[in-house]
């Protein structure tokens, strides 16, 4: 037996469409030059168990193997292709719209499929063009097609215009997106520099504050608000809020300890201040 060209899958009427299988089978038979007397046998050999049982029931009381090709095809067409309602098919066609994300060419192909059983005759191309345009959602493609002359615009040209407009819109979106990224990068860099400047300024302020002497105790490294001696009384002027080493009053009062050396260590002075506060509190 000569090698067959192509192959035909098994037909299962529960999951496959008869008309599609039938057209593929026809081409397979012609391509391989199968004798007409064997066509029924080839068809039966490519039926699933459920499909074979269905065919057997449809031709009963005759045997499947005794049915001629034309009769078998007529029976199957009559079963799988019941009489259609033209108006129902046209209602689907006229109500079709392009789905979100659907490519222009896919939208046109879907419309052609919906028009198969509408019996539009010679008006087919015009009706396909009109539904193609009117089924587009409001946007650049539809707006541009609305500007065309209906007397000269063909379906193929309408598809080309819609494709060109869609491509231009996509390219513009890419460019706008790139510019937006550049703007965001510039804003980010400016903000980053400002943040660094603010951080540097804060560090500089902290360094300046750290370098300045406290007005309460005369030491460095902290502010007046954080000085632990801010509630102490001066041993020279008796006022609360500073130690004697930073007191501006030169005259020593009766509460002063004028023999205390202003250059004594910080730890020594702190002990003196503590003793003084203890005496006052008593």
| Per-residue pLDDT tens listing for the chain (282 residues) | 467 788 889 999 999 999 999 999 999 999 999 999 999 999 999 999 999 999 999 999 999 999 999 999 999 999 998 778 899 999 999 999 999 999 999 999 999 999 998 999 999 999 999 999 999 999 999 999 999 999 999 999 999 999 999 898 888 776 656 556 556 655 556 566 666 666 666 555 545 555 678 887 888 778 888 888 878 788 788 888 877 878 887 544 444 444 444 444 444 445 544 554 444 444
DSSP state of 213: B
Chain length of the chain: 282
Residues forming beta bridges with residue 11, ordered by sequence position: 47
Tokens 């079709």 — which residue? 96
Domain boundaries, the chain: 18-80, 84-211, 217-282
How far is Cα 202 from Cα 111, in angstroms, rounded to an integer? 68
For residue 233, the cross-strand partners are 240
Structure tokens at 155: 């379906």
Residues 70-90: tens digit of each pLDDT: 999 999 999 998 778 899 999
Q: Any idea what the Cα angle at residue 104 is, between residues 102 and 106, rounded to 5°?
A: 65
pTM score above 0.75: no
């Amino acid at each position: 037996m000569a090698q067959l060209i192509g192959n035909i899958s098994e037909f299962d009427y529960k999951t496959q469409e008869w008309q599609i299988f039938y057209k593929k089978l026809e081409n397979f038979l012609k391509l391989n030059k199968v004798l007409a007397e064997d066509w029924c046998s080839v068809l039966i050999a490519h039926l699933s168990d459920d499909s074979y049982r269905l065919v057997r029931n449809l031709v009963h009381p005759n045997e499947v193997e005794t049915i001629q090709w034309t009769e078998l095809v007529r029976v199957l067409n009559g079963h799988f292709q019941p009489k259609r309602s033209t108006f129902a098919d046209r209602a689907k066609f006229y109500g079709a719209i392009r789905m979100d994300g659907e490519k222009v060419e896919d939208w046109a192909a879907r419309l052609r499929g919906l028009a198969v059983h509408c019996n539009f005759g010679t008006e087919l191309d015009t009706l396909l063009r009109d539904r193609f345009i009117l089924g587009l959602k409001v946007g650049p493609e539809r707006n541009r097609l609305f500007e065309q002359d209906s007397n000269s615009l063909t379906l193929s040209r309408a598809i080309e215009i819609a494709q060109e407009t869609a491509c231009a819109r996509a390219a513009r979106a890419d460019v706008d997106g790139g510019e937006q990224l550049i703007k965001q990068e510039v804003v980010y860099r400016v903000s980053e520099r400002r943040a660094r400047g603010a951080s540097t300024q804060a560090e500089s302020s902290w360094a300046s504050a750290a370098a300045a002497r406290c007005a309460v105790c005369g030491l460095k490294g902290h502010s007046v608000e954080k000085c632990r001696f801010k509630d102490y009384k001066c041993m020279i002027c008796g006022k609360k809020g500073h130690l004697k080493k930073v007191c501006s009053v030169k005259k020593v009062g009766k509460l002063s300890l004028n023999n205390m050396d202003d250059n004594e260590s910080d730890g020594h002075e702190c002990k003196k201040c503590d003793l003084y506060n203890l005496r006052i509190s008593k």
